[in-house]
Amino acid sequence: MSAETIGAVTTAATTSVSLTLGDDGLARCGWVGDDPEYRRYHDEEWGRPLRDERLLFEKLCLEGFQAGLSWITILRRRPAFRAAFHDFDVDRVAVMDETEVDRLLTDASIIRHRGKIQATIRNAQVTRDLGKSLTGLIWGFAPEPRAVRLRDLAEVPAITPESTALSRELRSRGYTFVGPTTMYALMQSAGLVDDHLSGCHRATHG
Q: Enumerate the active-site residues.
A: 41, 63, 71
Looking from the CA of 6 toward its CB, the CA atoms found within 13 Å total: 18
Helices and strands, number each (H, E), in the chain: 9, 3
Crossing angle of helices 71-84 and 36-44, rounded to 10°: 80
Strand order across the beta sheet in which 19-21 lies: 14-16, 19-21, 27-29
Neighbours of 184 (CB within 10 A): 27
**Distance between CA atoms of 206 and 203, rounded to whole angstroms?**
7
Strand partners, 16: 19
